[in-house]
């Protein structure tokens, strides 16, 4: 049973929730928030879309398989932790570039770790939600 109200509302909520998740991700390495909460918000947006329009359309809108999101996230988070090893520093030491970006601030390895966590949480949560909804 498809709810007309949810199907209409999710057209506007999906972009807004995804924008909110990116905002939470970008402010996460300087203030409360980060990859985990941003990933949960993004996955809830796709879960609502799947409730309104079905899992198949939700997968087509996502365009990337959740398994690939998990792989990319693990690689991003792991490689951000290994970068300091090339400078004879301990694993997961924070390194920052000297340039300042207006929206993000100083770009460094903590941001890339948060980005990896964001992708892993998004992928795992969507994999669980999609498999439960397909049953």
Mean pLDDT of the 100-116 span: 84
97 or 8, which is more confident?
8
Mean pLDDT of the 109-134 span: 94
Mean pLDDT of the 36-56 span: 95
Q: What is the pLDDT of residues 49-107, one digit of tens each?
A: 999 999 999 999 999 999 999 999 999 999 999 999 999 999 989 888 887 777 777 78
Cα distances (angstroms) measured from residue 9 to each of 16, 40, 52 = 11, 19, 9
3-state secondary structure of 135: coil
- The pLDDT of residue 9 is 93
Q: Which of 57, 50, 66 is nearest to 13 (CA)?
A: 50
SS (H, E, C) 22-70: HHHHHHCCCCCCCHHHHHHHHHHHHHHHHHHHCHHHHHHHHCCCHHHHH
- The residues that bridge with 76 in the sheet, in sequence order, are none
CA distance 78 to 95: 14
pTM of the model: 0.91
């Amino acid at each position: 049973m498809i709810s007309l109200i949810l199907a209409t509302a999710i057209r506007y909520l999906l972009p807004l929730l995804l924008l909110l998740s990116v905002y939470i991700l970008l402010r996460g390495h300087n203030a409360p928030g980060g990859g985990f909460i941003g990933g949960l918000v993004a996955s809830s947006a796709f879960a609502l879309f799947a409730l309104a329009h079905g899992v198949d359309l939700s997968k087509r809108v996502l365009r990337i398989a959740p398994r690939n999101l998990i792989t990319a996230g693990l690689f991003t988070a792991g490689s951000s932790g290994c970068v300091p090893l090339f400078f004879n520093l301990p694993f997961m030491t924070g390194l920052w570039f000297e340039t300042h970006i207006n929206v993000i601030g100083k770009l460094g390895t903590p941001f890339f770790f948060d980005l990896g966590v964001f992708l892993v949480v998004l992928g795992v949560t969507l994999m669980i939600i999609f498999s439960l909804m397909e049953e």
